[in-house]
Structure 1
């Protein structure tokens, strides 16, 4: 008498067990490759549109680690640091160190905010004037603006003072500029024009193109120095001596080559909520290892200035950067995943 065959042979059972093990292993591998699965991330940035590129690059990497990345929320730096500290935002990709040191400390410092690595280095700030006026009147130093005759060369509205195209309130640079006006005794001869920096600098460039003298603040990396090229169109001004506000009052701002533009050289860092970073070692490691050159930032920013400034444009620029630097990008993700193991 034949016994009915069991629908699963020993060989079939072994195969089925093997398949389930493989599936479980595959799920584990998938989980390891997506350590951020189900975790929400809220990116923050300031009102500077050109910061979107740096921010979006971090967002793409987080998405590739499985994080649920929300749309960017816009806050100026002081409020942004507080939001990061309180957990109302997850990360900000443009913390300038040491320019934003007071914002960092006032928001709770290292007890509340995670900060490691250097996203972009060699950022400079300072005052510039057009080269033609500089050479005609031998102007090399901001201290010369105490002379009313020098200051009048840069008067755009007829009030007799030099008009400085300055810094948007809330960025941090405005505190340094206001401090300099007092430290170098320039209150009577220089007017610090503030508002929307993009609008102010656009007007400044137009005036330069019309042959007028210009006096402005800017920073690098940024597109402005690709249009008004230092050494060719404009020159950096030195300051009479180092003088900074707040916790940096005794800091020497001189650069290695002896130039002193009145601001420390900065590095840009990614900052994040401390609790988030501790709970998400993959993201914390990513924030630490990501690096973007000043030249790449400036090149992308110049594309935005030339009209490629929509969200779709910036996303395309970001994807193109990743494709060109795929090995580097994959290395970031590998390091992040390893940290989560």
Structure 2
């Protein structure tokens, strides 16, 4: 028999169920990635992990279960994204790594989104003292054996250029430049562990010896050896790049540095991007300045270099940019509706 108490209780139960359903719907909308596991992939250069951790924080706030990032070199990274062995990265230099991207499948298997970092540049530098003493301002000055010998560190008569690790992409451009500018007989690119080689280069600078090296921005090297104060950028005589696309912008502050001024993009596996519009949308908005990453890299050089430190730096960056970060998250949530 239905009592008055039962009649009063039923509407209350229905009301509570409605509130619970509404609350669940809000929670689902707030975390559209809930129940989805994501595999990031980073380069082995730990100085580039900071921006990756900022991306991870955003995806976690969207509810995604983000696995420990895989680490590899750039060509393998693109292959992993193409085959679905990883879901995203925020580490593609759009022009420098274009060949890696295309050979791995390109737009057929992957999706590029956003401008994670703009205005990134690369080039060759020497110490300012030697530049001024011998009037050196161009890479082609090293065609002169006497000038090249100033930067000889192993007594073979050739300049020793601290260059890139195999697999980074920049080593290919450097080798191309040495051939294109007729420097093969006077300059050697030293390849290996870049930061170990740069540690030796910095030591030689501190001892007052001439130095010749390649670097890129953002990175802590330019905070340690400051362009215009400690070192100077060398120009190239003309733009000559391995892919033959010589119409790109290679000029920074009025100097032709020989490398395309680049943009770092996010790349997603195509199937993952289509199935996860929230992740795609968030990564399309992610943007970090070169200065912010350079400052973080300097902290690493000063001892805060563990993965826990890098994660903390990323969390601090998010806290400092919370309003903008929340806008990116809201755009991502809207894309999932």
Pick the TM interval, shorter chain. Answer: over 0.9
- The counterpart of 1:150, out of the listed 122, 147, 152, is 147
Structure 2: tracts of 5 or more residues without a match: none
SS state at 1:117 partner: strand
Structure 1: tracts of 5 or more residues without a match: none
SS state at 1:241 partner: coil
| TM-superposed deviation, 1:6 | 5.4
Q: Distance between the aligned counterparts of 1:4 and 1:151, measured in 2?
A: 100
- The counterpart of 2:178, out of the listed 177, 181, 196, is 181
Residue 126 of structure 1 contacts residue 218 of structure 1 at CA under 8 Å; is this kept in 2? yes
Deviations 1:121-179 (A, max 9, x none): 11010000000000000000000101000000000111100000000100000110010
Q: Which residue of 2 aligns with 1:215?
A: 212
| TM-superposed deviation, 1:193 | 0.2
Q: Distance between the aligned counterparts of 2:245 and 2:153, measured in 1?
A: 32
SS state at 1:9 partner: helix
Q: Distance between the aligned counterparts of 1:296 and 1:257, measured in 2?
A: 20
Find out whether 1:328 has 2:306 as its counterpart: no
| TM-superposed deviation, 1:8 | 2.1
Q: Distance between the aligned counterparts of 1:4 and 1:63, measured in 2?
A: 49
Q: Distance between the aligned counterparts of 1:167 and 1:74, measured in 2?
A: 18
SS state at 2:122 partner: strand
Q: Distance between the aligned counterparts of 1:119 and 1:212, measured in 2?
A: 37
Length-normalised TM-score, structure 2: 0.97
Q: Which residue of 2 aligns with 1:28?
A: 25
Describe how 1:307-326 pairs up with structure 2 within 5 A.
307-326=303-322
| TM-superposed deviation, 1:5 | 3.2
Which of 171-180 and 103-112 deviates more? 103-112
Q: Distance between the aligned counterparts of 1:215 and 1:70, measured in 2?
A: 40
Find out whether 1:8 has 2:9 as its counterpart: no
- The counterpart of 2:92, out of the listed 87, 90, 95, is 95
Describe how 1:174-323 pairs up with structure 2 within 5 A.
174-246=171-243, 248-255=244-251, 257-323=253-319
| TM-superposed deviation, 1:85 | 0.8
Deviations 1:298-328 (A, max 9, x none): 0000000110001111111111111111111
Residue 167 of structure 1 contacts residue 197 of structure 1 at CA under 8 Å; is this kept in 2? yes
Distance 1:256 1:232, change over 3 A: closer
Length-normalised TM-score, structure 1: 0.96
Find out whether 1:165 has 2:162 as its counterpart: yes
Find out whether 1:57 has 2:54 as its counterpart: yes
Q: Distance between the aligned counterparts of 1:276 and 1:252, measured in 2?
A: 31
Q: Distance between the aligned counterparts of 1:255 and 1:269, measured in 2?
A: 20
SS state at 1:95 partner: strand
